[in-house]
Structure 1
Amino acid sequence: MDGKTYNVLFLCTGNSARSIMAEAIMNRVDGFRAFSAGSQPKGAPHPMTLDLLRGLDIDTSFARSKSWEEFGAEGAPELDFVFTVCDDAAGEACPVWPGQPMTAHWGVPDPAAVEGSEAERRLAFSEAYRMLNARITAFASLPLASIDSLSLQGRLDDIGHKDRQESA
Protein backbone atom coordinates (compact mmCIF):
# COMPACT_ATOMS: atom_id res chain seq x y z
CA MET A 1 0.00 0.00 0.00
CA ASP A 2 1.03 3.60 -0.42
CA GLY A 3 0.72 4.67 3.24
CA LYS A 4 -2.66 6.31 2.67
CA THR A 5 -5.65 5.22 4.73
CA TYR A 6 -8.69 4.77 2.50
CA ASN A 7 -12.15 5.54 3.90
CA VAL A 8 -14.80 3.04 2.82
CA LEU A 9 -18.56 3.27 3.39
CA PHE A 10 -20.80 0.21 3.09
CA LEU A 11 -24.46 0.96 2.49
CA CYS A 12 -27.58 -1.10 2.90
CA THR A 13 -31.18 -0.27 3.56
CA GLY A 14 -31.48 -1.26 7.23
CA ASN A 15 -27.82 -1.14 8.33
CA SER A 16 -28.37 -4.10 10.63
CA ALA A 17 -26.56 -7.04 9.00
CA ARG A 18 -24.59 -6.96 5.72
CA SER A 19 -23.20 -3.43 5.91
CA ILE A 20 -22.20 -3.89 9.57
CA MET A 21 -20.46 -7.19 8.71
CA ALA A 22 -18.60 -5.48 5.87
CA GLU A 23 -17.55 -2.63 8.15
CA ALA A 24 -16.18 -5.14 10.67
CA ILE A 25 -14.29 -7.11 8.01
CA MET A 26 -12.79 -4.04 6.32
CA ASN A 27 -11.67 -2.51 9.61
CA ARG A 28 -9.44 -5.55 10.16
CA VAL A 29 -7.48 -4.71 6.97
CA ASP A 30 -4.48 -2.37 7.28
CA GLY A 31 -4.78 0.83 5.29
CA PHE A 32 -8.57 1.07 5.47
CA ARG A 33 -11.08 2.73 7.76
CA ALA A 34 -14.61 1.47 7.22
CA PHE A 35 -18.05 2.74 8.10
CA SER A 36 -21.57 1.50 7.48
CA ALA A 37 -24.95 3.15 7.16
CA GLY A 38 -28.44 2.65 5.82
CA SER A 39 -31.06 4.58 3.91
CA GLN A 40 -33.70 3.42 6.42
CA PRO A 41 -31.72 2.24 9.46
CA LYS A 42 -33.39 -0.37 11.67
CA GLY A 43 -32.16 1.33 14.83
CA ALA A 44 -30.02 -1.59 16.05
CA PRO A 45 -27.81 -4.29 14.59
CA HIS A 46 -29.50 -7.65 14.05
CA PRO A 47 -28.76 -9.97 17.01
CA MET A 48 -27.48 -12.72 14.68
CA THR A 49 -25.03 -10.25 13.13
CA LEU A 50 -23.61 -9.51 16.55
CA ASP A 51 -23.54 -13.21 17.49
CA LEU A 52 -21.66 -14.09 14.30
CA LEU A 53 -19.08 -11.33 14.74
CA ARG A 54 -18.51 -12.14 18.41
CA GLY A 55 -18.11 -15.81 17.48
CA LEU A 56 -15.30 -14.73 15.14
CA ASP A 57 -13.63 -12.74 17.96
CA ILE A 58 -14.58 -9.41 16.39
CA ASP A 59 -15.30 -6.59 18.84
CA THR A 60 -18.85 -5.36 18.21
CA SER A 61 -18.68 -2.17 20.29
CA PHE A 62 -18.51 -0.17 17.02
CA ALA A 63 -21.81 -1.58 15.74
CA ARG A 64 -24.77 0.74 15.55
CA SER A 65 -27.48 1.20 12.95
CA LYS A 66 -27.22 4.71 11.49
CA SER A 67 -28.44 6.80 8.59
CA TRP A 68 -26.32 7.44 5.53
CA GLU A 69 -27.12 11.13 6.03
CA GLU A 70 -24.31 11.20 8.64
CA PHE A 71 -21.78 10.69 5.87
CA GLY A 72 -23.06 13.44 3.60
CA ALA A 73 -23.08 16.02 6.41
CA GLU A 74 -20.55 18.70 7.26
CA GLY A 75 -17.57 17.25 9.12
CA ALA A 76 -18.11 13.68 7.87
CA PRO A 77 -15.02 11.73 6.82
CA GLU A 78 -14.07 12.17 3.18
CA LEU A 79 -14.88 8.87 1.51
CA ASP A 80 -12.72 7.15 -1.06
CA PHE A 81 -15.11 4.27 -1.79
CA VAL A 82 -18.84 3.65 -1.30
CA PHE A 83 -20.22 0.14 -1.80
CA THR A 84 -23.87 -0.85 -1.69
CA VAL A 85 -24.24 -4.39 -0.38
CA CYS A 86 -27.98 -4.92 -0.86
CA ASP A 87 -30.28 -4.63 -3.84
CA ASP A 88 -32.62 -2.10 -2.23
CA ALA A 89 -29.92 0.50 -1.63
CA ALA A 90 -28.48 0.03 -5.13
CA GLY A 91 -31.58 1.47 -6.75
CA GLU A 92 -32.06 4.35 -4.33
CA ALA A 93 -30.92 7.89 -4.95
CA CYS A 94 -27.84 8.27 -2.77
CA PRO A 95 -26.72 11.54 -1.26
CA VAL A 96 -23.88 13.42 -2.91
CA TRP A 97 -20.76 12.27 -1.11
CA PRO A 98 -18.04 14.81 -0.38
CA GLY A 99 -14.88 14.05 -2.35
CA GLN A 100 -16.63 12.10 -5.14
CA PRO A 101 -15.70 8.57 -4.02
CA MET A 102 -15.65 5.60 -6.36
CA THR A 103 -18.80 3.49 -6.05
CA ALA A 104 -19.85 -0.06 -6.84
CA HIS A 105 -22.70 -2.41 -6.08
CA TRP A 106 -21.78 -5.62 -4.26
CA GLY A 107 -25.23 -7.11 -3.68
CA VAL A 108 -25.45 -9.87 -1.09
CA PRO A 109 -28.68 -11.71 -0.19
CA ASP A 110 -30.23 -10.38 3.01
CA PRO A 111 -29.69 -12.91 5.81
CA ALA A 112 -32.22 -11.10 8.00
CA ALA A 113 -34.94 -11.93 5.45
CA VAL A 114 -34.34 -15.69 5.64
CA GLU A 115 -37.09 -17.67 7.29
CA GLY A 116 -36.71 -21.14 8.67
CA SER A 117 -35.02 -22.83 11.57
CA GLU A 118 -32.45 -21.04 13.68
CA ALA A 119 -29.75 -23.15 12.01
CA GLU A 120 -30.94 -22.08 8.53
CA ARG A 121 -31.01 -18.43 9.57
CA ARG A 122 -27.53 -18.63 11.12
CA LEU A 123 -26.26 -20.30 7.96
CA ALA A 124 -27.60 -17.35 5.93
CA PHE A 125 -25.65 -14.93 8.13
CA SER A 126 -22.50 -17.05 7.77
CA GLU A 127 -22.93 -17.15 3.99
CA ALA A 128 -23.37 -13.36 3.80
CA TYR A 129 -20.20 -12.94 5.86
CA ARG A 130 -18.31 -15.37 3.60
CA MET A 131 -19.36 -13.49 0.46
CA LEU A 132 -18.45 -10.10 1.93
CA ASN A 133 -15.12 -11.38 3.21
CA ALA A 134 -14.22 -12.74 -0.25
CA ARG A 135 -15.10 -9.45 -1.93
CA ILE A 136 -13.27 -7.33 0.63
CA THR A 137 -10.20 -9.58 0.37
CA ALA A 138 -10.23 -9.14 -3.43
CA PHE A 139 -10.70 -5.37 -3.06
CA ALA A 140 -7.90 -5.01 -0.48
CA SER A 141 -5.48 -6.82 -2.80
CA LEU A 142 -5.94 -4.26 -5.61
CA PRO A 143 -3.01 -1.90 -6.31
CA LEU A 144 -5.09 1.17 -5.41
CA ALA A 145 -2.22 3.66 -5.61
CA SER A 146 -1.09 2.59 -9.08
CA ILE A 147 -4.24 1.68 -10.98
CA ASP A 148 -6.06 4.21 -13.17
CA SER A 149 -9.65 5.16 -12.29
CA LEU A 150 -11.29 3.46 -15.26
CA SER A 151 -9.51 0.16 -14.63
CA LEU A 152 -10.22 0.40 -10.91
CA GLN A 153 -13.93 0.99 -11.54
CA GLY A 154 -14.05 -2.10 -13.74
CA ARG A 155 -12.37 -4.19 -11.08
CA LEU A 156 -14.74 -2.91 -8.38
CA ASP A 157 -17.71 -3.83 -10.55
CA ASP A 158 -16.19 -7.28 -11.24
CA ILE A 159 -15.80 -7.92 -7.51
CA GLY A 160 -19.54 -7.28 -7.11
CA HIS A 161 -20.21 -10.17 -9.49
CA LYS A 162 -17.60 -12.48 -7.95
CA ASP A 163 -19.91 -15.06 -6.34
CA ARG A 164 -22.30 -15.12 -9.28
CA GLN A 165 -19.41 -15.96 -11.64
CA GLU A 166 -18.12 -18.70 -9.34
CA SER A 167 -21.51 -20.39 -9.02
CA ALA A 168 -22.37 -20.18 -12.74
Structure 2
Amino acid sequence: MTQIYFLCTGNSCRSQMAEGYGHALLGDDFVVASAGVETHGLNPNAVKVMAEDGVDISQQTSTLIDQGYFYSSDLIVTLCGDARDKCPVIPASITHLHWDLADPAQATGTEAEKLAQFRAVRDEIKQRVAKLA
Protein backbone atom coordinates (compact mmCIF):
# COMPACT_ATOMS: atom_id res chain seq x y z
CA MET A 1 0.00 0.00 0.00
CA THR A 2 1.11 3.52 -0.79
CA GLN A 3 0.84 5.94 2.12
CA ILE A 4 0.23 9.61 1.20
CA TYR A 5 0.31 12.66 3.47
CA PHE A 6 -1.17 15.95 2.24
CA LEU A 7 0.15 18.97 4.15
CA CYS A 8 -0.78 22.66 4.23
CA THR A 9 -0.62 25.47 6.75
CA GLY A 10 -3.77 25.03 8.83
CA ASN A 11 -5.23 21.76 7.54
CA SER A 12 -8.53 23.53 6.94
CA CYS A 13 -9.00 23.73 3.13
CA ARG A 14 -6.44 22.52 0.58
CA SER A 15 -5.09 19.48 2.38
CA GLN A 16 -8.59 18.53 3.55
CA MET A 17 -9.85 18.61 -0.03
CA ALA A 18 -6.83 16.58 -1.18
CA GLU A 19 -7.48 13.99 1.52
CA GLY A 20 -11.13 13.79 0.49
CA TYR A 21 -10.22 13.21 -3.14
CA GLY A 22 -7.53 10.75 -2.08
CA HIS A 23 -10.15 8.62 -0.36
CA ALA A 24 -12.62 9.03 -3.23
CA LEU A 25 -10.30 8.55 -6.21
CA LEU A 26 -7.27 6.50 -5.25
CA GLY A 27 -8.79 3.22 -4.10
CA ASP A 28 -7.80 0.58 -1.61
CA ASP A 29 -4.12 0.50 -2.56
CA PHE A 30 -3.61 3.89 -0.92
CA VAL A 31 -3.68 5.08 2.68
CA VAL A 32 -4.38 8.81 2.77
CA ALA A 33 -4.26 11.46 5.49
CA SER A 34 -3.79 15.20 5.82
CA ALA A 35 -2.39 17.55 8.42
CA GLY A 36 -1.09 21.05 8.96
CA VAL A 37 1.80 22.83 10.58
CA GLU A 38 -1.01 24.51 12.58
CA THR A 39 -4.70 23.65 13.07
CA HIS A 40 -7.32 26.11 11.90
CA GLY A 41 -10.40 23.88 11.96
CA LEU A 42 -12.28 22.52 8.96
CA ASN A 43 -13.37 25.38 6.69
CA PRO A 44 -17.14 25.23 5.97
CA ASN A 45 -16.63 26.45 2.39
CA ALA A 46 -14.26 23.53 1.75
CA VAL A 47 -16.93 21.15 3.03
CA LYS A 48 -19.55 22.87 0.85
CA VAL A 49 -17.65 22.78 -2.45
CA MET A 50 -16.51 19.20 -1.91
CA ALA A 51 -20.13 18.15 -1.26
CA GLU A 52 -21.05 19.80 -4.56
CA ASP A 53 -18.71 17.28 -6.21
CA GLY A 54 -20.08 14.33 -4.23
CA VAL A 55 -17.25 14.06 -1.69
CA ASP A 56 -18.14 14.34 2.01
CA ILE A 57 -15.28 15.70 4.13
CA SER A 58 -17.52 16.93 6.95
CA GLN A 59 -16.23 14.31 9.40
CA GLN A 60 -12.55 15.04 8.78
CA THR A 61 -10.71 17.01 11.44
CA SER A 62 -7.93 19.57 11.38
CA THR A 63 -4.82 17.94 12.83
CA LEU A 64 -1.15 18.67 13.34
CA ILE A 65 1.54 16.69 11.54
CA ASP A 66 1.93 13.25 13.09
CA GLN A 67 5.63 12.40 13.12
CA GLY A 68 5.04 8.64 12.90
CA TYR A 69 2.75 8.93 9.88
CA PHE A 70 5.04 11.55 8.31
CA TYR A 71 8.17 9.39 8.47
CA SER A 72 6.37 6.22 7.36
CA SER A 73 4.79 7.88 4.30
CA ASP A 74 5.73 6.96 0.75
CA LEU A 75 4.63 10.33 -0.64
CA ILE A 76 4.33 13.73 1.00
CA VAL A 77 2.49 16.45 -0.89
CA THR A 78 2.83 20.03 0.34
CA LEU A 79 0.08 22.27 -0.95
CA CYS A 80 1.58 25.65 -0.05
CA GLY A 81 4.97 27.24 0.50
CA ASP A 82 4.33 27.66 4.22
CA ALA A 83 3.87 23.92 4.71
CA ARG A 84 6.88 23.15 2.51
CA ASP A 85 9.04 25.54 4.53
CA LYS A 86 7.81 24.58 8.01
CA CYS A 87 7.25 20.83 7.84
CA PRO A 88 9.94 18.51 9.19
CA VAL A 89 12.81 17.72 6.86
CA ILE A 90 11.57 15.14 4.39
CA PRO A 91 13.97 12.20 4.16
CA ALA A 92 15.36 11.41 0.70
CA SER A 93 13.63 8.02 0.87
CA ILE A 94 10.20 9.71 0.77
CA THR A 95 8.91 11.15 -2.50
CA HIS A 96 7.92 14.80 -2.16
CA LEU A 97 5.65 16.78 -4.46
CA HIS A 98 4.94 20.46 -4.02
CA TRP A 99 1.67 21.90 -5.31
CA ASP A 100 1.82 25.64 -4.72
CA LEU A 101 -1.91 26.37 -4.58
CA ALA A 102 -3.61 29.61 -3.61
CA ASP A 103 -5.29 29.58 -0.21
CA PRO A 104 -9.03 29.86 -0.89
CA ALA A 105 -9.61 30.88 2.73
CA GLN A 106 -7.86 34.17 1.85
CA ALA A 107 -10.28 34.92 -1.00
CA THR A 108 -12.06 38.25 -0.83
CA GLY A 109 -15.23 39.60 -2.37
CA THR A 110 -18.80 38.43 -2.30
CA GLU A 111 -19.75 35.00 -1.01
CA ALA A 112 -20.16 33.88 -4.64
CA GLU A 113 -16.66 35.13 -5.49
CA LYS A 114 -15.18 33.36 -2.48
CA LEU A 115 -16.92 30.11 -3.41
CA ALA A 116 -15.63 30.46 -6.97
CA GLN A 117 -12.07 30.53 -5.59
CA PHE A 118 -12.76 27.45 -3.47
CA ARG A 119 -14.14 25.66 -6.55
CA ALA A 120 -11.13 26.58 -8.67
CA VAL A 121 -8.71 25.24 -6.04
CA ARG A 122 -10.90 22.15 -5.55
CA ASP A 123 -10.85 21.39 -9.27
CA GLU A 124 -7.07 21.79 -9.46
CA ILE A 125 -6.61 19.46 -6.48
CA LYS A 126 -8.96 16.87 -8.02
CA GLN A 127 -6.98 16.80 -11.26
CA ARG A 128 -3.67 16.44 -9.43
CA VAL A 129 -4.89 13.72 -7.04
CA ALA A 130 -6.37 11.76 -9.96
CA LYS A 131 -2.92 11.74 -11.60
CA LEU A 132 -1.46 10.03 -8.50
CA ALA A 133 -3.43 6.86 -9.26
TM-score (norm 1): 0.71
Question: Where does the alignment leave 5 or more consecutive residues of structure 2 unmatched?
Answer: none
Q: How does 1:96-107 map to 2 (within 5 A)?
A: 100-107=93-100
Higher relative contact order (CA 8 A, sep 6+): 2
The equivalent residue for 1:88 is 82
The equivalent residue for 1:51 is 48
Cα distance in 1, alignment partners of residues 9 and 58 from structure 2: 21
How many residue pairs get aligned? The number is 130
The equivalent residue for 1:137 is 130
**Which amino acid in the other structure matches residue 106 of structure 2?**
A
| Bigger radius of gyration | 1
Change beyond 3 A, Cα 1:38–1:85? same
Cα distance in 2, alignment partners of residues 112 and 11 from structure 1: 15
Residue 139 of structure 1: CA displacement? 2.2
The equivalent position to 1:63 in structure 2, one of 39, 50, 60, is 60
Does the 8 Å contact 1:79/1:98 carry over to 2? no
Q: Which runs of 4+ in 1 moved over 3 A?
A: 96-100
Cα distance in 1, alignment partners of residues 92 and 58 from structure 2: 28
Q: Is 1:19–2:15 an aligned residue pair?
A: yes
**Which secondary structure does the structure 2 equivalent of 1:27 belong to?**
helix
TM-score (norm 2): 0.88
The equivalent residue for 1:145 is none
Question: Where does the alignment leave 5 or more consecutive residues of structure 1 unmatched?
Answer: 141-168
Report percent identity of matched pairs. Answer: 32
Cα distance in 2, alignment partners of residues 45 and 85 from structure 1: 16
